[in-house]
Amino acid sequence: MCYSARVWADYRLYVKKFGARIDIQEFVRLLELRAQGEKIVIAKAVTDVFKLDPQSAEERHCRDLVLRYEAEETHRLQEKLFQQRQRLADAERTLETKTTKKATNDKRIATNLIASLREKLEALEEPPRPDAQARVFPGGYCLVMTMDKSGDYLVSPMRYLCRPAGRPAFFDEKYPGCYNARQDNLTGYWKEQYGSTHAVVVASAFFENVKRHRLEGRELAEGEETENVILQFNPGNGQVMQLACLWSRWTAPGKNDLLSFAAITTDPPAEVSAAGHDRCPIPLKDANIAGWLATQGPSLQDYEAMLEDRERPYYEHLLLAA
DSSP string computed for 88-110: HHHHHHHHHH---HHHHHHHHHH
The stretch 68-86 carries a mean pLDDT of 95
Please count the residues of the chain. Answer: 322
What pLDDT does 2 receive? Answer: 61
The mean of the pLDDT values for the chain is 93
Task: Please report, for the chain, the start and end positions of each structural domain, with discontinuous segments joined by +.
Answer: 161-321
Q: Give the model's confidence band at 320: pLDDT under 50 very low, under 70 low, under 90 confident, else very high.
A: confident
Q: Which residues contact 270 (CB under 8 A, 6 or more apart)?
A: none
What pLDDT does 322 receive? Answer: 52
CA 227, chain centre distance (Å): 24
To the nearest whole percent, how much of the chain has pLDDT over 70?
Answer: 99
Q: Give the model's confidence band at 300: pLDDT under 50 very low, under 70 low, under 90 confident, else very high.
A: very high
Tens-place pLDDT, residues 96-143: 999 999 999 999 999 999 999 999 999 889 888 888 899 999 999 999
Single out the residue of 199, 196, 206 nearest to residue 159, CA to CA: 199
What is the rounded distance in angstroms from the CA atom of residue 93 to the CA atom of residue 132?
A: 45
Q: Give the model's confidence band at 321: pLDDT under 50 very low, under 70 low, under 90 confident, else very high.
A: low
CA 266, chain centre distance (Å): 19
Kindly tell me if the per-residue pLDDT of 93 is higher than 80.
yes
The stretch 3-19 carries a mean pLDDT of 94
Q: Would you say 161 and 176 are in contact if contact means Cβ atoms under 8 Å apart?
A: yes
Classified by CATH at the fold level, domain 161-321 comes out as hypothetical protein yedk fold (3.90.1680)
Bridge partners (DSSP) listed for residue 12: none
DSSP character for 188?
T
Tens-place pLDDT, residues 141-167: 999 999 999 999 999 999 999 999 999
CA 49, chain centre distance (Å): 17
Tens-place pLDDT, residues 186-237: 999 999 999 999 999 999 999 998 888 888 888 888 888 888 889 999 998 8
